[in-house]
Amino acid sequence: MTLARRYADTLPDLVSQVVPQPLQGMRLRLVNQELADALSLPQSWWQKDGLLAALQDPNSALSRNAVAQKYGGHQFGHWNPFLGDGRGLLLGEAQHAEHGWQDLHLKGAGQTPYSRHADGRAVLRSTLREYLGQEALHHLGIPTSRSLCLFSSTDTVYREQPEPGAMMIRTAPSHIRFGHFEYYFNTQNTDALKRLVTFTLHNHFPECLQAENPWAALLLAITLRTARLVAHWQVHGFVHGVMNTDNMSVHGITFDYGPYAFMDTFTSSAVFNHSDHEGRYAFDRQPGIALWNLNALAHAFSDECTIEELRDALSRFEPVFLEQYHRLMTDRMGLETNDTGIRLMQDWLSMLATQQRDYTGSFRLLALADLTLSPSPLRDHFPDRDTFDAWWEDYRNARLHSETASISQASLRQKNPAIIPRTHQLSALISQAEAGEWSTVEEYIDALASPFDTRWDDHPFSRPPATPASVSLSCSS
């Protein structure tokens, strides 16, 4: 099969051709067959190990067409021009049955011109975390890149300690990051910047071409998508962990999973990335950081847009974020999106924070709670039952006397997952995969595909950690 090469052929000077160099002893361990079928990828890739053979053959069409993309980025607020696909390769693009062209991006296949002194490898730990994270978010309805397949390896890769290596392929509408535009702007390569924007507009944002200034329209479109994305993160208690501008996709999808985590106990300032000493990427700072990143992107557009155009686009972030956040949050709770609904939602969150309750688990219990009961048995979930009782009376009243009274428990369940990829569950699965045991990983992937199903209530897969440990995740991957 020959993949399309729209990016590489249109912007040849923005990529470097790099032949993949898989590690030793690679085995195909996970395939997202549904996604593979939707992309019309050949069955021989999976059934006869045809994909691995093609990646191991430096002369195959797949290997010869692979390219590494150049980009830069603001990392923890500091501009870094030396970034790029240091261990990722764009294999090409395939047409999805419903969602148009998708990049196939291979991670962990060796060094590229942008590796600097790093090894170009990925460890099984981070690869599996990304694979599971992408699928979990997809099935929760949060925009994200997707997982196509994962290969384990018998080779060791050195991080803080020796770890098994791995390789994976993810898909996304493109791998164009904020940092792509920043790089060509900051290096004053105006010609490349213009061609990149033209490519992005024609292939990914054609609706912006009609605008008086397509650059301004593009910035606005990216701003709106990013605002809606971050609202989803805040609603589900998701912490991305490394919101550097090179990890921000123009499509407004969750992208470049590193030390991400879903919160267990609700702490609004939660930080899980152990390199993030100042809490720059804390849970409650994500909306502000997204806007900071959009500001960096706007700067790269500043030769082609007026200050007013840039300001207009960026000024839409906050209202769109808040509108989406309030709507999704009140929907989750069966409330109307009005002052009362928003107040009840905020009081609920304060209660979870003050009483140190599990975030996802508490929402699920609320979705399953019987509104006809007062007091509610849910009071036993809270150390301070009196505070809960008072809130419940208010909540119950609002629910029973509003337009949302007819919302069924089944439909509320569909907005409140029983299972999310909790960090301690992922750690246990990683240990199993490292020991060559993949059957539970496969069961877990199946569970993540139906996160709202009652099968997962009280299932070991959905349990919070026995003792809420403080989670610290390594950025090294």
**Cβ 244 to Mg ion, closest distance in Å?**
7
Q: Is 87 in the site for ligand AMP (CB under 6 A)?
A: yes
CA distances for 240 relative to 169, 309, 445, angstroms: 20, 29, 20
Which residue, 231, 248, 239, is CA-closest to 273?
239
Residue 246 or 264: which CB sits closer to ligand AMP? 246
* Best CA proximity match to 420, nearest among 136, 229, 147, 126: 136
Instruction: For tokens 């990149």, name the residue.
Output: 196
Tell me the closest approach of the beta carbon of residue 255 to Mg ion, in angstroms: 8
Stretch that binds ligand AMP, among 13-21, 40-48, 79-87, 98-106 (CB under 6 A): 79-87
Which one of 85-93, 304-312, 349-357, 446-454 is the stretch in contact with ligand AMP (CB under 6 A)? Answer: 85-93
Residues 238 and 77: their CA atoms lie apart, in Å, by: 21
Residues 255-314 that bind ligand AMP (CB under 6 A): 256, 258
Range list of H helices, 301-368: 307-315, 317-332, 339-354, 359-368
Residue 107 CB, nearest distance to ligand AMP (Å)?
9
Shortest Å, Cβ 134 to Mg ion: 14
- Write out the catalytic residue numbers: 246
DSSP assignment, residue 211? S
> Residues in the site for Mg ion, rule: CB under 5 A?
247, 256
Q: Which is nearer to Mg ion, 247 or 462 (CB)?
A: 247
Which two tokens mark 427?
């750690």
Nearest residue to the partner ligand AMP, using Cβ: 86
Vertex 185: Cα angle to 179 and 188 (nearest 5): 140
84 contributes a contact to ligand AMP by CB under 6 A: yes
20, 120, 173, 214: which one contacts ligand AMP (CB under 6 A)? 120
Q: Are 283 and 235 in contact (CB under 8 A)?
A: no
Considering the complex, state which of residue 247 and residue 416 has its C-beta at the smaller distance from ligand AMP: 247
Token pair 């050949």: residue: 42
User: Which of 86, 113, 141, 465 touches ligand AMP by CB under 6 A?
Assistant: 86
Q: Residue 179 or 252: which CB sits closer to ligand AMP?
A: 179
- Provide the 3-class DSSP secondary structure of residue 70: strand
**Residue whose tokens read 């004053």:** 188
Minimum CB separation of residue 111 from ligand AMP in Å reads 7
Of 237, 156, 125, the residue nearest 474 (C-alpha): 125
Q: Where are the alpha helices (DSSP H) in 48-96?
A: 50-56, 61-65
| Of the residues 50, 55, 70, 85, which one makes contact with ligand AMP according to CB under 6 A | 85
Q: Which of residues 220-249 bind ligand AMP (CB under 6 A)?
A: 242, 247
Give every CB contact of residue 209 below 8 A, 6+ residues apart in sequence. Answer: 201, 202
Q: Pick from 119, 323, 347, 457: which binds ligand AMP (CB under 6 A)?
A: 119
Pick the closest to residue 249 from 175, 317, 191, 194 (CA basis). Answer: 175
Which is nearer to Mg ion, 117 or 401 (by Cβ)? 117
Residue 119 interacting entry, from Mg ion, ligand AMP, none, C-beta within 5 to 8 Å by type: ligand AMP
CB of 95 to ligand AMP, least distance (A): 27
Nearer to ligand AMP, 120 or 417 (CB): 120
Q: Cα(474)–Cα(477) distance, rounded to whole angstroms?
A: 8
Residues that bind ligand AMP (CB under 6 A): 83-88, 114-115, 118-121, 242, 247, 256, 258, 477
